[in-house]
């Protein structure tokens, strides 16, 4: 028997043995007690609860996790994850237990001291309102007086964000809000009203109810996906699709995985396990990240390119793949794929360039070969290898809408074998190609490369293939090709070799080449199971579209796109509202009025926060040295207005007059509204509001923010918002443009307006920067207090929110709040507005024949040509809509007649929903009396959810089947078997358990038979074209502006401000100049949870900036010191986190740390430190404004300028450690 | 005659841990979000290298937790035996102060509503929950997460200090991993042995170590005695509290909160049978590096008929014996040999074990054209992984690199073997043989590590 301790201890223990119950071991060190466990009761009590309610979190992440909410004595106690997801089949990890620490900390908010319990309003405003209303006897008149009196305006606007909120009743709050809306519509027009609420997928009914109200009164809903810079513009450019990606369980299928700028453990916490586990299947993982991040921990290899230079690495990898897998050895799988599914075999006309030689021009089309008919210009041409003759294969845009295209819009090639390269032709000519890498200027020929391509003449046109152009672009030489080619991989001078990228990225050339080779070899062996997960680290840059096109080239060349386990996996933003058709029908009030007003958010805020007044970044900065100069001397705002007047992008407020009055005027003229308005504009009688955005009649007047924290999170150029949109104090430090820098087509007013908005209304359950600056704050129910629906791109389920408790205090669901507002509005509107006609100007839309408006992507600006603008061709479409303003509340609460009369359309497929409407009459009941007599009821949130599910193919198998039948008529291919289930998912189903969705033509992949979702599998397997010009995935974009920007093909463009970084470093004084990045945080989902005590306790308790030891040393900063980050846009005060996992020269301020928690006053400004976005400012990329041409046509959240924020620099210095709040 | 006892045990696969802290939050929310327990996290997650929670708890020269061998070769509490305990009962210096954990705080959130019209935007500033005064936050429950402050703070990591020669805290060589921790529910618990009141006990049926809240007198000797610092003092009630292995849940057949909510799916719970009478002997093995094998020798094979007979004799019910046979814990420790205990040198016989993590290869290897796909290279690369084996060995095998290396080689072999399966190539038995396994065992292990659903993990 082994003994412990010594004899004295033993003696003590032996004594103790007699004093205890239970059995003591022979070594005297174990004691086993039986019974007598009253002392344990505490924990049993603590664990006991009354009920568990299933719900989820409506936060802007992509989790959509199912949670158990525990309730005891009517109080929410805590939450834990549900683990009962339907099985994925047993051969791969299941979804359980999705969740993350942020979600697990959510219930803290329910009873927290930051919970908004009552309606609040700005005290000064309320006093003025009450006084005016008492005097004038009318809410609308009262609002009109306050907002038109400059002194009164100033009094409440200038104290926005500075405290002074008072409690008001719901009735009074709703009345003021209603009065503001009515007055604005009456005086300035409905498009001066706007709503901002992002990511419908995170709580569909809560989004839809507000968007429905805004849309039905003629207000403007602002886009978010592009505004958040989450939209990868390359996706519409290459795929003609917004974004479609694999669910996380499909990572499992990948045999090679690159995580590029995506920190999966942090940003996709519930999904990360698939990556960790797939490694055990032998998946190789490579992480590209500038810092040693959470994902790098899982990698086999970690490559750390300098921030924003990822495009260079991707281009070099493309170089290696083209050389080794296409030129040195033809890889059959790859060649076959690119011939059938990409534009690489299509012919491009070469154009002689003024500077000599040739440049790539437009796609050769059937029209160029003499075919008649409007669509001929949209039928692209390739050469048949068997005959050497040009062929017009089906599937291009010319077959999508035309009569003769019926049954031919498909990817069938028949016997045709497309010619990929003209290398066997005798002739080759040099083409000039732009380069933008930093060395370009220093090299011979400046920013232009001259490289040969093989050519031949077809129909009198000198042509080559996209593939041949691509080889030239990537610098992959072939025998006999004239021009400058790299000597080898180790040639550092010429794009795009591995050695060339090493100079830019710091990634060793050998590593770049080897990873590219491995990636492609894996794709070859696995038939396409190589995947790239992409994240905000690569997507939030000014030139992210060029980066992305370089990434997409890697997965497309290797035949990975459209294959389970392969392709791109872009995870930035929760864009996938799976029951999209039903949601869109309700959210935009399409069942009552069409079209709705939908605006590109970035342009809206760029204009109306007056960031354009500071933007010296002219459009010619992006121009190619080979461009024709159409951007010369133009500012971004000039191009924005050009885009608007040509009908490319939407523009709201649209005209400089009230659209209700314009409708009356047009009617009075006795002419068709469209031509009348076009003529008025051409004659200068009527102007576009965006051409004079600072004129008071063109300001946005009322903005409602719900399910969002604009001013604490997404507002790039935050300080400009405060100064110009809100009219309160700000820390803007930049100077406005000098006289020679100002726009040509947009009116410059000497005084930039302060305080454009009359009313900022927000609905939230917690105090944020947005609520602090709002004039009225309405108390919202949390996600544990309402009914709603959730879905995500990361998993294939749709499931429900269910209230665990009723909304406490005076909180209300968004549904109840907007219905209260609508009722108050309708009451006032009945007399003040009545029934009015509203003239809506709508842009040329994607997935409609509008995208045929501009053949060859030629710019036809009527103002420059002097031609009469044609609505729907060279001018926005003009539509007159009738609005019964007194009946808005009634209409909101019922499904309107246009649903069954016109159907519901998604991505060009129109669903006939007559039968579903009839079914909804039975399920929801019908409305009795009023304007909605006999229509299905939408009076409750549950009815709204039920309707969303009933009107979408993903949740209604009848519609899915119908949609595929419709699609098959157009494609002529077999779509059977995709949606044979005819399953109908009800709201009750989604409450019981997450329900797998149904394969539907609303999306491009298939879940049929329990298959994991991957994008574009339907395209590959059912030969359905992509929604692009050629109907294939595009490497080449021939629009005039793409040529002007030098971005017809994948190309490397460096981050902006690289030169400014050097300047700032020189003048940094006692600070250090660094690149400033705002990646997504481990402790919050955007701003949500960054104020949560649990998350603050697990991190550093307030705003921090991460920096490298060397940068810290340069500025004399120690870990946890207070620091200030200052640049032209504003000031941030935070504490430093010094870590060697950070690269030198770059700091991170994790997104989105706002000003509500532990932000002291700044030494620099004397004012409260700002949010992470106080240091950023918007810049528009002109190519994002293209419209009216094939896949480069507008759709909401599909195409538009992005609000990128990564190309910024700042100076950081140590400040006094004594801080003052 | 062997006295067989049953023990609930856990294995955490650190190779899968994403460091998300969901386990910490769900545990905190369920058990310790109450007055007196603000600073307490029954479950916490530490970034390594780092100081841990409480700070430097692994420095037993400082904190004197766990057991040591006396000159006579007998086990004794490192902080001193019973006699010393009695003599120092009123003034125990070997205890972390609140600053070693962290000073809990909250914020003046109310200002966001109540601020009158002022010069500037209202803000919620931090306020100590101990003093009620405004405070500058200097430490938290997880201050050095993800290498935060590492250049200044990590040199104090007691584990890093032992291998400081091998480790440089620089960008090019950066490494980290996460170490989630709960109470170890040791077979030889030094906290229980330290308690002067007899309030701490190890449950006979499942080995869960608990504090009897009625009997605890708040002497806090358990806090000192536990080398993992997983017993906490409730400042409100004056009693010790600790992780209960969620007994109100496991008693009704559901796993612990931390395990069920682990989104990395890296926690396994199962029964282990052990020979209760051999615990002290095994814990007294002289060579610290032999403690791992000694502890394994105490744990019994649930398939062995003699063990089964003895277990029945000891009163262990039939369904528990079945559970022990199915135990993923037994498989991971014995059949696959990939789990290791946390600091066996503390001689407490901890029952929460870990699979050590793989990590990226260092760039040096990348630059030489290393091909990570080749099985041979993978094995060669084990010593070139970013996380130094020596560092892992100081945590999981009393400084002996061999057990850690063996585990990492098996994980690497599994990946290499399964890659062939994944790509439809022939299975290569030689890979399995290289690490003393068969292809079949590798595939079983793969299933448990990669796929195992809820019912297979617990």
The burial of A1180, by beta-carbon neighbours within 10 Å (0-12 exposed, 13-18 middle, 19 or more buried), is given as buried
- The three-state secondary structure class of B126 is strand
- The three-state secondary structure class of A952 is coil
From the CB of residue A35, how many other CB atoms can be counted at a distance below 10 Å?
Answer: 7
Q: Which helix (H) or strand (E) holds A799?
A: strand A797-801
Which residues are CB-neighbours of A166 under 8 A, at least 6 positions away? A120, A121, A122, A123, A126
Q: Which of residues 1134-1153 of A touch B (CB under 8 A)?
A: 1137-1144
pLDDT at B372: 55
Residue of A nearest to B153 (CA): A1119
From the CB of residue A490, how many other CB atoms can be counted at a distance below 10 Å?
Answer: 14
Please give the CATH number for the structural domain made up of A246-304+516-543+554-570. Answer: 3.40.228.10
Question: Which contacts (CB < 8 Å, 24+ apart) does range B155-159 have?
Answer: B156/B51, B156/B55, B156/B56, B157/B48, B157/B49, B157/B50, B157/B51, B157/B52, B157/B56, B157/B58, B158/B56, B158/B58, B158/B59, B159/B48, B159/B49, B159/B58, B159/B391, B159/B394, B159/B395
A120-230+582-877: CATH, from 3.40.50.12770, 3.40.50.10490, 2.70.170.10, 3.40.50.300: 3.40.50.12770
Q: How far apart are CA A243 and CA A230, in angstroms?
A: 10
- The answer, for A524 touching chain B at a CB cutoff of 8 Å, is no
Closest CA–CA distance from residue A148 to any residue of chain B (Å) = 23
Residue of A nearest to B123 (CA): A1156
Q: Which residues of B touch A772 (CB under 8 A)?
A: 112, 121-122
Spatial CA neighbour of A538 closest among A1138, A1218, A1055: A1055
Assigned CATH class of A1058-1214: mainly beta
Q: Which two tokens stand for residue A1200?
A: 């538009």
Q: How far apart are CA A519 and CA A554, in angstroms?
A: 9
> How does DSSP classify residue A378?
G
Interface test with B, best of A47, A88, A106 (most B CBs within 10 A): A47
Interface test with B, best of A1, A3, A4 (most B CBs within 10 A): A4
Q: Which two tokens stand for residue B335?
A: 């059949």
The burial of B423, by beta-carbon neighbours within 10 Å (0-12 exposed, 13-18 middle, 19 or more buried), is given as middle
Q: Which helix (H) or strand (E) holds B12?
A: strand B4-13
Nearest to A1156 among B124, B216, B415 (CB): B124
What is the 3 state secondary structure string of B43-85?
Answer: CEEEEECCCCCCCCCCCHHHHCCCEEECCCCCEEECCCCHHHH
pLDDT at B92: 78
Q: Which residues of B touch A1155 (CB under 8 A)?
A: 121, 123
Nearest to A1101 among B24, B105, B169 (CB): B105
Q: Percentages helix, strand, coil for chain A, rounded to the nearest 5? A: 35, 20, 45
Alpha helices in A928-1034 (DSSP H): 941-950, 957-971, 987-992, 1017-1022
Q: Along chain A (1221 residues), what's the average pLDDT of each consecutive run of 10 residues?
A: 51 49 51 61 94 97 96 97 95 96 98 98 98 98 98 98 98 98 98 98 98 98 97 98 96 98 97 97 96 96 96 98 98 98 98 91 98 93 97 98 96 97 95 92 74 97 98 96 95 96 96 96 98 96 97 98 98 90 98 98 98 92 92 95 98 98 98 98 97 98 98 97 98 95 96 97 98 98 98 97 98 98 98 98 98 97 95 98 98 98 98 98 97 98 98 98 98 94 95 98 95 97 98 98 98 88 79 96 97 98 98 97 96 98 97 96 96 96 98 98 94 97 95
pLDDT at A19: 46
pLDDT in tens, B362-377: 765 555 555 555 656 6
Interface test with B, best of A9, A107, A289, A1091 (most B CBs within 10 A): A9
Spatial CA neighbour of B413 closest among B356, B370, B374, B368: B374
Contact A43 B119 (CB under 8 A): no
Spatial CA neighbour of A568 closest among A553, A583, A580: A553
Q: How far apart are CA A61 and CA A102, in angstroms?
A: 10
Closest CA–CA distance from residue B23 to any residue of chain A (Å) = 7
Contact A162 B119 (CB under 8 A): yes
pLDDT at A20: 47
Closest CA–CA distance from residue A512 to any residue of chain B (Å) = 10
Nearest to A100 among B74, B263, B359 (CB): B263
Nearest to A1093 among B74, B106, B202 (CB): B106
Residue of B nearest to A1136 (CA): B149
pLDDT band at B62 (very low <50, low <70, confident <90, very high): very high
Q: Which of residues 113-172 of A touch B (CB under 8 A)?
A: 113-114, 120, 123-124, 159, 161-165
pLDDT at A14: 55
Contact B112 A772 (CB under 8 A): yes
Q: Which two tokens stand for residue B350?
A: 């901890």
Q: Which of residues 255-284 of A touch B (CB under 8 A)?
A: 255, 265-266, 269-270, 272-273, 276-284
Q: Which helix (H) or strand (E) holds A78?
A: strand A75-81
Exposure letters B205-242 (e unless 16+ CB within 10 A, then b)? bbbbbbbbbebbeebbbbbbbbbbbbbbbbbebebbbb
Closest CA–CA distance from residue A1095 to any residue of chain B (Å) = 9
CB-CB contact of B176 with B182 (8 Å): no
Q: Which residues of A touch B170 (CB under 8 A)?
A: 1140
CB pairs under 8 A between A and B: 401
Write down the domain spans for chain A: 7-34, 120-230+582-877, 246-304+516-543+554-570, 320-499, 1058-1214
CB-CB contact of A295 with A527 (8 Å): no
- The three-state secondary structure class of B340 is strand
Q: Which helix (H) or strand (E) holds A583?
A: helix A580-587
- The answer, for A18 touching chain B at a CB cutoff of 8 Å, is no
CB-CB contact of A906 with A226 (8 Å): no
Contact B121 A514 (CB under 8 A): no
Contact A281 B446 (CB under 8 A): yes
Contact A33 B204 (CB under 8 A): yes
Nearest to B212 among A39, A769, A1144 (CB): A39
């Amino acid at each position: 028997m082994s003994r412990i301790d010594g004899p004295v201890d033993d003696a003590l223990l032996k004594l103790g043995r007699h004093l205890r119950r239970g059995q003591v071991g022979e070594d005297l060190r174990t004691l086993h007690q039986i019974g007598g466990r009253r002392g344990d009761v505490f924990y049993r009590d603590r664990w006991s609860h009354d009920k568990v309610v299933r719900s989820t979190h409506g936060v802007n992440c992509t989790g959509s996790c199912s949670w158990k909410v525990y309730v005891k004595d009517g109080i929410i106690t805590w939450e834990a994850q549900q683990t009962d997801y339907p099985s994925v089949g047993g051969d791969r990890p299941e979804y359980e237990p999705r969740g993350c620490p942020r979600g697990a900390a959510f219930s803290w908010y329910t009873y927290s001291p930051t919970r908004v319990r009552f309606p609040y309003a700005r005290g000064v405003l309320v006093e003025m309102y009450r006084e005016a209303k008492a005097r004038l006897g009318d809410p609308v008149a009262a609002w009109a007086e306050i907002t038109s009196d400059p002194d009164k305006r100033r009094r409440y606007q200038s104290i926005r964000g500075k405290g002074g909120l008072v409690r008001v009743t719901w009735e009074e709050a709703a009345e003021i809000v209603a009065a503001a809306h009515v007055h604005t519509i009456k005086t300035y027009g409905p498009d001066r009203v706007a709503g901002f609420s992002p990511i419908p997928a995170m709580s569909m009914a809560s989004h839809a109810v507000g968007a429905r109200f805004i849309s039905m009164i003629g207000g403007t809903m602002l886009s978010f996906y592009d505004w958040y810079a989450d939209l990868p513009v390359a996706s519409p450019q290459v795929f003609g699709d917004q974004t479609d990606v694999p669910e996380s369980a499909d990572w499992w299928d990948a045999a090679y995985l690159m995580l590029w700028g995506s920190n999966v453990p942090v940003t996709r916490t519930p999904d990360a396990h698939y990556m960790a586990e797939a490694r055990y299947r032998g998946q190789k993982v490579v992480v590209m990240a500038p810092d040693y991040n959470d994902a790098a921990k899982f990698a086999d290899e970690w490559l750390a390119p300098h921030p924003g230079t990822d495009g260079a690495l991707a281009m070099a990898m493309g170089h290696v793949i083209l050389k080794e897998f296409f030129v040195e050895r033809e890889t059959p799988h790859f060649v076959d794929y690119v011939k059938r599914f990409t534009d690489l075999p299509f012919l491009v006309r070469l154009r002689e360039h003024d500077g000599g030689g040739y440049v790539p021009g437009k796609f050769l089309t059937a029209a160029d070969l003499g075919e008649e008919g409007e669509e001929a210009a949209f039928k692209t041409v390739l050469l048949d290898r068997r005959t050497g003759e040009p062929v017009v294969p089906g599937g291009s845009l010319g077959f999508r809408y035309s009569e003769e295209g019926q049954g031919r819009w498909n990817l069938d090639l028949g016997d045709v074998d497309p010619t990929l390269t003209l290398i066997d032709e005798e002739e080759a000519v040099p083409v000039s190609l732009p380069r933008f890498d930093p060395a370009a200027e220093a090299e011979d020929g400046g920013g232009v490369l001259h490289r040969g391509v093989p050519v031949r003449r077809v129909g009198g046109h000198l042509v080559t293939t996209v593939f041949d152009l691509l080889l030239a672009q990537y610098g992959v030489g072939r025998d006999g090709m004239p021009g400058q080619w790299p000597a080898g991989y180790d040639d550092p001078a010429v794009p795009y070799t591995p050695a060339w990228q090493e100079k830019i990225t710091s990634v060793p050339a050998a590593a770049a080449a080897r990873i590219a080779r491995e990636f492609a070899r894996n794709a070859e062996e696995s038939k396409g199971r190589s995947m790239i997960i992409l994240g905000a680290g690569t997507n939030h840059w000014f030139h992210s579209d060029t980066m992305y096109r370089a990434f997409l080239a890697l997965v497309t060349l290797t035949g990975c796109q459209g294959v389970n386990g392969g392709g791109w996996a872009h995870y930035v933003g929760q864009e996938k509202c799976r029951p999209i058709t039903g949601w869109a029908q309700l959210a935009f009030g399409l069942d009552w009025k069409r079209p709705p007003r939908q605006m590109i958010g970035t342009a809206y805020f760029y204009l109306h926060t007056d960031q354009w007044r500071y933007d010296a970044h002219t459009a010619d900065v992006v121009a190619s040295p080979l461009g024709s100069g159409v951007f010369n001397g133009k500012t971004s705002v000039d191009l924005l207005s050009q885009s608007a007047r040509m009908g490319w992008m939407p523009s709201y407020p649209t005209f400089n007059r009230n659209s209700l009055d314009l409708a009356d005027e047009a009617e009075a003229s006795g002419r068709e509204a469209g031509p009348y308005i076009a003529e008025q504009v051409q004659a200068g009688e009527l102007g576009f509001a965006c051409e004079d955005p600072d004129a008071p009649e063109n300001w946005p007047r009322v903005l409602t923010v719900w399910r969002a924290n604009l001013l604490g999170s997404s507002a790039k150029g935050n300080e400009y918002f405060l100064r110009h949109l809100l009219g309160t104090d700000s820390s803007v430090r930049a100077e406005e443009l000098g006289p020679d820098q100002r726009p040509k087509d947009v009116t410059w007013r000497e005084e930039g307006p302060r305080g454009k908005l009359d009313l900022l209304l927000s609905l939230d359950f917690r105090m944020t920067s947005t609520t602090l600056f709002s004039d009225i704050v309405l108390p919202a129910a949390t996600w544990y207090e309402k009914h709603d629906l959730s879905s995500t791109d990361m998993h294939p389920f749709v499931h429900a929110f269910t209230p665990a408790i009723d909304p406490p205090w005076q909180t209300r669901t968004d549904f109840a709040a907007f219905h209260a507002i609508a009722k108050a509005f309708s009451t006032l509107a009945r007399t003040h507005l009545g029934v009015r006609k509203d003239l809506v100007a709508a842009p040329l839309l994607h997935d409609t024949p509008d995208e045929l408006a501009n053949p060859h992507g030629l710019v036809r600006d009527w103002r420059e040509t002097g031609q009469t603008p044609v609505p729907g061709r060279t001018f926005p479409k003009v539509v007159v809509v009738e609005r019964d303003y007194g009946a808005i509340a009634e209409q909101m609460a019922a499904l309107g007649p246009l649903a069954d009369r016109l159907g519901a359309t998604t991505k060009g497929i129109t669903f006939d929903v007559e039968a579903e409407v009839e079914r909804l009459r039975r399920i929801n009941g019908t409305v009795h009396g009023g304007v909605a007599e006999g229509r299905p009821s939408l009076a409750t949130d549950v009815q709204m959810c039920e309707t969303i599910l009933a009107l979408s193919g993903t949740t209604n198998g009848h519609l899915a089947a119908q949609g595929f039948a419709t699609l098959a008529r157009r494609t002529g291919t077999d779509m059977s078997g995709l949606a044979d289930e005819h399953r109908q998912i009800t709201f009750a189903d989604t409450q019981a358990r997450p329900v797998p969705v149904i394969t539907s033509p609303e999306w491009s992949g298939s879940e049929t038979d329990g298959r994991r979702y991957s994008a574009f599998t339907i395209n590959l397997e059912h030969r359905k074209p992509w929604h692009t010009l050629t109907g294939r995935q595009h490497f080449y974009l021939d629009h005039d502006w793409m040529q002007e920007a030098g971005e017809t093909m994948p190309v490397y463009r460096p981050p902006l401000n690289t030169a400014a970084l050097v300047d700032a470093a020189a003048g940094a004084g006692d600070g250090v100049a660094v690149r400033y990045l705002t990646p997504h945080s481990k402790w919050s989902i955007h701003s949500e949870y960054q104020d949560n005590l649990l998350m603050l306790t697990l991190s550093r308790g307030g705003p921090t900036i991460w920096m490298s030891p060397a940068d810290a040393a340069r500025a004399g900063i120690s870990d946890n010191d207070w620091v200030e980050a200052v640049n032209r846009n504003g000031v941030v005060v935070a504490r430093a986190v010094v870590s060697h996992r950070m690269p030198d020269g770059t700091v991170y301020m994790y997104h989105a740390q706002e000003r509500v928690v532990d932000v002291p006053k700044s030494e620099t400004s004397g004012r409260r430190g700002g949010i992470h976005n106080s240091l950023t400012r918007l810049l528009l990329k002109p190519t994002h404004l293209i419209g009216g041409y094939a896949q480069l046509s507008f759709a909401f959240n599909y195409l538009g300028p992005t609000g990128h924020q990564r190309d910024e620099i700042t100076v950081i210095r140590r400040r006094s450690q004594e801080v003052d709040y | 005659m062997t006295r067989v006892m049953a023990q609930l045990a856990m294995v955490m696969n650190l190779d899968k841990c994403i460091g998300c802290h969901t386990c910490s939050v769900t545990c905190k929310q369920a058990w310790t979000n109450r007055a007196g327990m603000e600073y307490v996290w029954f479950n916490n997650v530490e970034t390594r290298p780092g100081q841990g929670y409480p700070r430097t708890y692994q420095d037993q020269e400082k904190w004197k937790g766990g057991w040591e061998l006396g000159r006579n070769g007998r086990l004794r509490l490192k902080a001193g035996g019973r006699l010393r305990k009695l003599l120092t009962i009123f003034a125990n210096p070997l205890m972390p102060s609140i600053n070693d954990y962290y000073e809990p705080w909250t914020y003046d959130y109310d200002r966001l509503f109540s601020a009158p019209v002022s010069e500037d935007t209202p803000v919620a500033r931090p306020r100590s929950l101990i003093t009620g005064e405004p405070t500058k936050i200097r430490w938290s429950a997880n201050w050095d997460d993800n290498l935060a402050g590492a250049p200044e703070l990590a040199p104090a990591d007691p584990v890093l200090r032992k291998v400081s020669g091998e480790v440089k805290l620089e960008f090019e060589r950066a490494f980290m991993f996460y170490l989630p921790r709960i109470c170890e529910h040791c077979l030889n618990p030094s906290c229980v042995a330290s308690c002067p009141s007899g309030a701490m006990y190890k449950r006979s049926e499942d080995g869960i170590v608990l504090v009897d809240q009625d009997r605890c007198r708040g002497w806090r000797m358990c806090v000192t005695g536990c080398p993992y610092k997983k017993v906490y003092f409730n400042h409100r009630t004056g009693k010790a509290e600790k992780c209960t292995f969620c007994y109100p849940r496991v008693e009704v057949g559901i796993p612990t909160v931390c395990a069920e909510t682990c989104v990395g799916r890296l926690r396994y719970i199962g029964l282990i049978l052990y020979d209760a009478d051999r615990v002290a002997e095994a814990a007294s093995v002289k060579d610290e590096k032999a403690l791992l094998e000694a502890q394994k020798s105490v744990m019994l094979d649930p398939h062995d008929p003699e063990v089964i007979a003895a277990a029945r004799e000891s009163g262990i019910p039939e369904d528990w014996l079945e559970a022990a046979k199915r135990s993923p814990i037994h498989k991971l420790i014995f059949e696959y040999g990939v789990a290791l205990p946390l600091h066996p040198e503390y001689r407490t016989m901890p029952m929460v074990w870990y699979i050590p993590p793989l990590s990226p290869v260092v760039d040096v290897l990348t630059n030489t054209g290393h091909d990570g796909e080749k099985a041979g290279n993978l094995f060669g690369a084990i010593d070139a992984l970013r996380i130094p084996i020596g560092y892992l060995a100081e945590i999981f095998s009393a400084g002996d690199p061999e057990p850690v290396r063996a585990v990492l080689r098996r994980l690497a072999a599994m990946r290499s073997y399964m890659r062939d399966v994944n790509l439809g190539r022939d299975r290569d038995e030689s890979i399995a043989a290289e690490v003393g396994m068969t292809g079949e065992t590798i595939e079983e292990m793969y299933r448990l590590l990669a796929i195992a659903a809820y019912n297979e993990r617990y």
